[in-house]
Amino acid sequence: MTMDGLATRTQLLDIARSIVVHEGTTDFSLREVARRAGLSPAAVYRHFASKEALLDEVCAIGFQKLCMYLLGATSAKTPRARLDASGDAYLRFALENPEDYRAIFMTPSRGKKPGSPGEAFQLLMDAKVLKRGDVMEVSVSIWAHVHGLASLRLSGHLAEAGSDAQFKSFYRQSVDKLVSSFEVNTVHKQRGIS
């Protein structure tokens, strides 16, 4: 791809991301992306095979950023500490990248978003950090909790929790209570003890 082609592709992604974030995906069209870019609709097809392909790419860029945040959590010393660090990284990503967060998680799913939290939670069960049980139930419960808190914060519904620092403390306490209900040994309340 030429430099001009790369610049056009980047411009189209930026415009698509802006539309998704500010207007959602209900009326999203390649024609509108082309209009805002000052291109013909046919020109968009030189870079993306379909509307779905463009939307998938917008989400994939956001997921790549999220993965970079989550990667840092892997250096924590214990499985529980890694779980806590992952939850913290998830919130940090949401607060620092609200547009990407909304594009990934707050638009209708087309069933092609990568990743499943189930494998990570299965590993936590195998490591005897979390009680044996239905991995889907545990993973969805924890994911729904952290996602719900982050989404409510971004939408302004939890503004009364105070500053971002105060909200992070509230978030950590709330997530810790939920995760503790799934822990094998709930006697140890300090993070990092397995």
* Residue 183: strand pairing partners: 130
Who wins on pLDDT, 106 or 112? 106
Helix residue ranges, H only, 24-78:
30-37, 41-45, 51-71
pTM: 0.75
Domain containing 164 equals 59-182
Least confident of 8-12, 69-73, 123-127, 179-183: 123-127
Residue 64 shares a structural domain with residue 39: no
C-alpha distance from residue 192 to each of 53, 58, 79 (Å): 41, 35, 8
Who wins on pLDDT, 54 or 121? 54
Number of domains in the chain: 2
Residue 123 predicted with pLDDT over 70: no
Task: Report if residue 113 sits inside a domain.
Answer: yes
* Residue 130: strand pairing partners: 183
Residue 92 shares a structural domain with residue 154: yes
Task: Report if residue 136 sits inside a domain.
Answer: yes
Contacts of 73 (CB under 8 A, 6+ apart): 82, 85, 86, 88, 89
Residue 193 predicted with pLDDT over 50: no
In tens, the pLDDT along 128-166 reads: 777 777 788 888 888 899 999 999 999 999 999 999 999
Who wins on pLDDT, 186 or 56? 56
The pLDDT value recorded for residue 110 is 57
Residue with token string 């939920």: 178
CATH code assigned at 87 = 1.10.357.10
Using 50, 70 and 90 to split pLDDT, how confident is the model at 46? very high
